[in-house]
Amino acid sequence: MPRDFDCIVVGAGLAGAALAVGLARFGLRVAAVDAREPAAASPGRDVRGLALALSSQRLLRALDLWPVLEPRLTPLRHIEVSAMGHFGSSTLSAAELGLEALGHICPADHLLHTLDAALANTPNLTPFFGQRVAQIETTAARVEVTLQSAGEPAVLSARLLIAADGSTSAVRQHFGIEAQLRDYQQTAIVANIDLENAAAHTACERFTAEGPTALLPLGGKRHVLVRTVRTAGAEALLAASPADYLNDVQQRLGWRWGRCANLGERRAHPLMLNRAKALTAPRTVLVGNAANTIHPNAAQGLNLALRDVVALMDALKDCAAEGGDAGQAATLEAYARTRVDDHARTAGFSDSLARGFALDWPLVGMARSGALLAFNAVPPLRHALMRRLMGATARVPEWLRSGSAHA
């Protein structure tokens, strides 16, 4: 006999886990399936620092997770943007907008731990860790998912299937949804380092022809260094001794922040654009990286994904309250329509940054310098972009405004 739920979320990564918790809090019976083990089983797996925008903060607060995250969050007050080998730079400051912070840096492991604890402790929610989807069958009224496991395969049944299973989404492939793909031929090597004379609450992003190098503050001297390189050269950098790697980083950063030291584990992330050409299939909807995997140059992927989460929660809220059919096509299409604009703008922005800065031709370089100078000289332009990147222009449904996601 299949186990019965209102919805099955395949992929309990950062987006899927947040969505599963949110929908369960609205009263829907949710199964959350992930191939991974709970984060506590592999601490230090993800050494990234994630820049959380205001829109993400609002959702995490409504899920009562913000106070748990807060002790390890670093408010971001300044962002310095420059381009290697070209004049012109720009500093974005929270104070310009009359704000305390432009966003917050959260250690990725801490966010996943916090979400995993919520997956384990939220009523109406059943997590299935260490389980992959083996088979999907859809009928007019339901969707059935068979999980791959060593023993008796578990079969789950629900009205709605949510694909939150990342960029290579097996659910998306099952339904034959095509994607727009672009391999940037870049790999982000992420590691934590100490900077002797760190500027407090300041992130830096320097665009180079190989891709951007970014420093994100984790508090005190500790920083996340995201170094983007051409994929062909990534292996050698990962294999370099810590001393050689730090020397190389020091040469690139210069001595402005003093000596770089205490290199942590290095992790490689190949970078690509992978955008689904449709967000829905029968009784199925796509969110997060399964819908849009984008270049991390503007720190927008998770923020975009959590705006998907808010939009889908909003679309399903009434149905949860009234016991309606969570998987009906009209509801899913309505969700998809609300996401088109944000997806296109956010993915388009990071893609044009990735491609514009990858061209190392002199005239393109001058245009980039000019653009940075113009950006500095025109505050309304700068402020409009800052507000959008902060998620300050995102629609805020009533339940989110009130700061609480409950049935």
Ligand X SMILES: Cc1cc2nc3c(=O)[nH]c(=O)nc-3n(C[C@H](O)[C@H](O)[C@H](O)COP(=O)(O)OP(=O)(O)OC[C@H]3O[C@@H](n4cnc5c(N)ncnc54)[C@H](O)[C@@H]3O)c2cc1C
The residues of the shown chain that bind ligand X, judged by CB under 6 A, are 10-16, 33-36, 48, 50-51, 132-133, 164-166, 170, 188, 190, 226, 269, 288-289, 296, 299-303, 305
Residue 187 Cβ vs ligand X, minimum distance, rounded to whole Å: 9
Residue 14 Cβ vs ligand X, minimum distance, rounded to whole Å: 4
Residues facing 33 on adjacent strands: 10, 128
Burial (Cβ within 10 Å: 0-12, 13-18, ≥19) of residue 91: middle
Instruction: Give the residue with the Cβ less far from ligand X, 65 or 86.
Output: 65
Give the angle 85-76-347 at the CA atoms, nearest 5°: 65
Residue 363 Cβ vs ligand X, minimum distance, rounded to whole Å: 30
Instruction: Give the residue with the Cβ less far from ligand X, 86 or 253.
Output: 253
Q: How far apart are CA 275 and CA 311, in angstroms?
A: 18
Find the residue with minimal CB distance to ligand X: 13
Residue 171 Cβ vs ligand X, minimum distance, rounded to whole Å: 7
How large is the C-alpha radius of gyration of the chain?
21
Residue 73 Cβ vs ligand X, minimum distance, rounded to whole Å: 13
Q: How far apart are CA 182 and CA 111, in angstroms?
A: 28
Instruction: Give the residue with the Cβ less far from ligand X, 33 or 400.
Output: 33
Residue 270 Cβ vs ligand X, minimum distance, rounded to whole Å: 8
Instruction: Give the residue with the Cβ less far from ligand X, 3 or 36.
Output: 36
Closest CA to 8 of 21, 20, 25: 20
Instruction: Give the residue with the Cβ less far from ligand X, 105 or 316.
Output: 105
Instruction: Give the residue with the Cβ less far from ligand X, 170 or 238.
Output: 170
Instruction: Give the residue with the Cβ less far from ligand X, 86 or 171.
Output: 171
Instruction: Give the residue with the Cβ less far from ligand X, 86 or 302.
Output: 302
Residue 386 Cβ vs ligand X, minimum distance, rounded to whole Å: 15
Instruction: Give the residue with the Cβ less far from ligand X, 108 or 260.
Output: 108
